[in-house]
Structure 1
């Protein structure tokens, strides 16, 4: 029973985290820059681990109630942050040179990078819905060591995904040194941020109807 529980946790965790989001876009960018990659992927995977443990430990019901009460505010704030990040990336795309080296942002400090990672991780209401509420709710079908195996599977999925995303991105570094490559990437990331922000606005009921 342990293996099926582990496989269930891994499959669910990987499928949830696979969706393109602000956090994933940030990890991808850091991987392309080859900048603080290990710290970034460890931070993101560890953050997921803590949230998954909270959900599996039984906090999913409490968080669900809180999200239900303050959904509009949470999604509204998330929309503002995502839109702001999109504007930053769009500005970067507009200001970019014809050829941008992956060494372009080597001066960024560890503190700045981890602060951004923290905001993108914990400032997104969906991370709580996915890790604490959904993964936590599914864990209710397991008990004892099977429940531990399920949680371990979800945690493993997070580590595997972020390490693949962070270090796999570095393989694209030569391509990203070509003319306009960074401009295109930043423009695409900006588009993703704006689409996600719109989704947050709709989810929070800010558009009415």
Structure 2
């Protein structure tokens, strides 16, 4: 196996191991997939962002996170505030009379959907730790001529994951056809987002 193939497989495998964890971005993609709301653009946006962040990490930009701790702190508290707002919004939808279903939910305009995707992506400090630092360190360990293959492999893993999550969510649509099911989903989303927000604040307080 050539060094390029090995680097590509290494990037694909490491990206798969990191991206499959339940997170705010993944849950948002799942929600929009269930609602069939701008799924393609959202998937493309997430994949491009991952590829860009990994590329920055492989090029050595990840060192900036270490020399600029204030930037990471700002992102942590900003991300916690955004996740708390989104979690409370989900809980408010869950208790609203009538509930929500995939066909009756008002779709987000494309601009607003991409803006929220960007917020879930860039206001989460774990994204930088996973892509810029961890993936960047692993990619930097590859031979110089094999690093682009590593990035391509990692980006391909992101694309496969988000396509599976966004379009595969439609399999669950019959299960979530009833308002009660959407209330349950919104409760799960709300509690998860609030827990993530509290976790971010707790980590920031420990490192302060």
TM-score, normalised by the number of residues in structure 2: 0.92
Deviations 1:143-163 (A, max 9, x none): 133222211111111111111
Deviations 1:90-141 (A, max 9, x none): 111111525x331123442111111111111111111111111111111121
Q: Does structure 2 conserve the Cα–Cα contact (< 8 Å) formed by 1:96 and 1:182?
A: no
Task: Please list the CA deviations of residues 154-175 of structure 1 after superposition, one character each: whole Å capped at 9, or x if unmatched.
Answer: 1111111111100000111111
Q: Report SS of the residue matched to 2:143.
A: coil
| 1:34 and 2:41 are equivalent in the alignment | no
Identify the residue that residue 72 of structure 1 maps to in structure 2. 73
CA distance in 1: counterparts of 2:167 and 2:160, whole angstroms: 11
- CA distance in structure 2 between the partners assigned to 1:58 and 1:15 by the alignment: 22
TM-fit CA distance, 1:53:
1.3
Correspondence for 2:161: 161
Which residue does 2:58 correspond to in 1? 56
Determine helix, strand or coil for the equivalent of 1:59: coil
Match of 1:89 in 2: 90
TM-superposed CA distance for 1:178, in Å, is 2.4
Contact 2:37 2:107 in 1 (8 A): no
* 1:3 CA drift (Å): 2.2
The number of equivalent residue pairs is: 206
- The answer as to whether partners of 2:33 and 2:166 remain within 8 angstroms in 1 is yes
Counterparts of 1:177 and 1:191, CA distance in 2: 21
Q: What are the within-5 Å matches in structure 2 for residues 117-128 of structure 1?
A: 117-128=117-128
* Structure 2 partner of 1:151: 151
- Is 1:30–1:37's contact at 8 Å kept on the other side of the alignment? yes
User: Secondary structure at the residue paired with 1:149?
Assistant: helix
Measure the CA separation in 2 of the matches of 1:63 and 1:159: 26
**Please, what TM-score do these two structures have when normalized by structure 1?**
0.92
**Structure-1 residue corresponding to 2:182:** 182
Distance 1:90 1:158 in 2: 29
Per-residue CA deviation, residues 27-71 of structure 1 (Å, 9 max, x unaligned), is: 0000000111111111111111111111112211123322x3444
Q: Distance in 1 between the 2:11 and 2:97 partners? A: 42
Q: Tell me whether 1:102 sits opposite 2:102 in the alignment.
A: yes
Cα-Cα RMSD: 1.8
